[in-house]
Amino acid sequence: MIEEVPLIQVAAFTRPDPALVEQLRHTPTGFLCDALGGSGALDFRLRPAIPEQLAFCGVALTCHAGPADNLALIHALQSIAPGDVIVACTDGFTGCAITGDLVLGMARNRGAVGFVTDGCVRDLAGIRQIGLPAWSMGVTPNSPHRSGPGTVGHPVVVTGVHVCAGDVVVADADGVVVVPQARLADVVARLPAIREAEARADAAVRAGAISPAFLKAP
């Protein structure tokens, strides 16, 4: 006899050392991509629902809801720890919103610091009041179903980027970057040199530089 698969499958995962996560806070996403070898950013079409509410740094709590459904997202609320960023996968479906202000408000009340989806959101007036940075592919008033199936804590693919629960997600005016947990310590170790190189380049430009230092004069 084949057992019925649960509507929502929840996986346990390990969150990274908070001290390492803290070292990414206020770090430009461009620096993080440099530390990752030039990649790590989600699709450029993802935008913050409220332009002035965009920045966050936190630990990914993944959920896969699929198209036109948000049952997995509702279940993910129970797994939120303070400092988490919910990463909700819809398989890129934009025909309806995966969430609005009420669920995002509950996520904030549980300690979430950000929300990212490859789908859409709704209720912008309410989201503005809640103050939780929410990045999505767009806005639509169409509403989802709550029928499942789905997953919480399992790996997902968002705009072509693999995201695992426990990765670190950082957003600023340039976009959203995912730092895999397995590479977190290495990224943190690379950042001082990147910051120093950027500072030198900035100083050179302010001093009147007209070409990069690595180009030899003709």
122: containing domain: 8-206
pTM, entire model? 0.94
Q: Would 36 be classed as within a structural domain? A: yes
The structural domain count of the chain equals: 1
Size of the chain, expressed as the number of residues it contains: 218
The alpha carbon of 157 is separated from its chain's Cα centroid by a whole number of angstroms, namely 12
DSSP-derived secondary structure letter, 216: P
Token couple for 216: 């030899």
Task: Give the CATH number of the domain where residue 76 resides.
Answer: 3.50.30.40
Residue 211 resides in a domain: no
Which pLDDT belongs to residue 4?
Answer: 60
In a domain, 91, yes or no: yes
Alpha carbon separation from 97 to 74, 86, 101 (Å, rounded): 13, 15, 11
Measured on CA atoms in the order 74, 81, 126, 133, is the torsion positive or negative?
A: negative
Residue pLDDT, tens place only, 100-156: 999 999 999 999 999 999 999 999 999 999 999 999 999 999 999 999 999 999 999
C-alpha 91/C-alpha 75 separation (Å) is 18
pLDDT of 40-67, one tens digit each?
999 999 999 999 999 999 999 999 999 9
What would the mean pLDDT of 86-95 be, rounded to a whole number?
98
Cα separation, 20 vs 86, whole angstroms: 19
Q: Residue 46's closest CA among 130, 163, 146, 211?
A: 163
CB 128 within 8 A of CB 48: no
SS3 112: coil
